[in-house]
Amino acid sequence: MSDAVQPTAAEVRAAAEAVKTALDRHLAAVERRSGEDDPAVYEAFNQLAAAAEAYDELLYDRYDEVTPFEIPGTEDALPPYTGPEEPNALSVLIRRDYAVAEPQRLLAQAQRVEAADYDGADGDASGTVHGALGILFGEFEPDEIASRHKEFGLEEGDSTLWVTAADDQTDPGEWLEAPFEGVDPQQVVCRFDVSTVFDDDLDEEDTDDDPGRRLAVNAEDDIEDELDTDLDEDDLEPLDADR
């Protein structure tokens, strides 16, 4: 790198001081957090990530040295927010991926719901995986499916939640034909991602036993053990279909 574009020692020092300041702000936000998804903690995390990335780049350009920090997702970070300062409406966009890990459990649970809702049902709808999914997602809220996914024979994959801001609420039925099109990244107030790619701290033995387990959200220590694939329907506890 030529001397003309090489950062000065003072610039590197200033970037280091910015990292220290961002660290203090992040710790203070964590100490004052109001809940698991406190937006102040999320903002402080992003500021710390940006400061660390800037320092890492300047340090390398000036001294050909690197830091031990690895900031996930910086290349795919959202652009600066340009939405309304005081939004009058918002949209929450959620994507959750699942693997159908235990089809027999999924089918058995759907059959129980179908039998409870429709006396004498012949089980046609719940006899296929896609039919069973339609029954269960029609009966239970998505958040309940997420919290009880193992009961339904599902294994969690990546998930993301985006909160977007707007000046006015959309008219009823306006976006139903294409609900996920036209999302402006600059209108995203905040987003929260959960993925196994963030699990570098998991030891190899744990990841081999349960690839879907994540440090970020898996706070339940009493999750039931994995079930055998040849489970018997009589072994399953019935679901409460009359919610």
- Take residue 136 and report the two structure tokens written for it: 């269960």
Q: Round to whole Å and give the CA distance between 31 and 33.
A: 6
Give the start-to-end residue ranges of the domains of the chain. 9-63, 89-199+230-235
CA distances from 71 to 45, 46, 142, 198, 200 (A): 10, 10, 30, 10, 12
The per-residue pLDDT for 122 is 54
Strand partners, 162: 93, 191
In this structure, the number of other CB atoms found within 10 A of the CB of residue 82 comes to 10
- How does DSSP assign 182-222, residue by residue? S--GGGEEEEEEE-GGG-TTS-HHHHHH-TT--TTT---TT
State phi, psi for 57 to the nearest 5 degrees: -65, -45
- C-alpha 84/C-alpha 74 separation (Å) is 24
In tens, the pLDDT along 100-158 reads 999 999 999 999 998 887 655 555 667 899 999 999 999 999 999 999 999 999 999 99
**pLDDT number for residue 232:** 47
69 is written with which tokens? Answer: 């920090």
pLDDT at 154: 96
Whole-angstrom Cα distance, residue 177 to residue 174?
Answer: 8
Can you list the alpha helix ranges (DSSP code H) found in the chain?
A: 9-31, 39-63, 103-117, 129-139, 142-147, 204-209
Q: What is the pTM of this model?
A: 0.51
pLDDT at 132: 92
3 state SS of 236: coil
Low-confidence ranges of the chain (pLDDT < 70): 1-4, 71-78, 118-125, 199-243
| Residue 160 β-bridge partners | 95, 193
pLDDT at 8: 94
CA distance 234 to 243: 22
What is the model's pLDDT at position 72? 58
Could you give the CA distance from residue 50 to residue 28 in angstroms, rounded to a whole number?
17
Joined together, the tokens standing for residue 161 give: 């939640």
For residue 91, the model assigns a pLDDT of 93
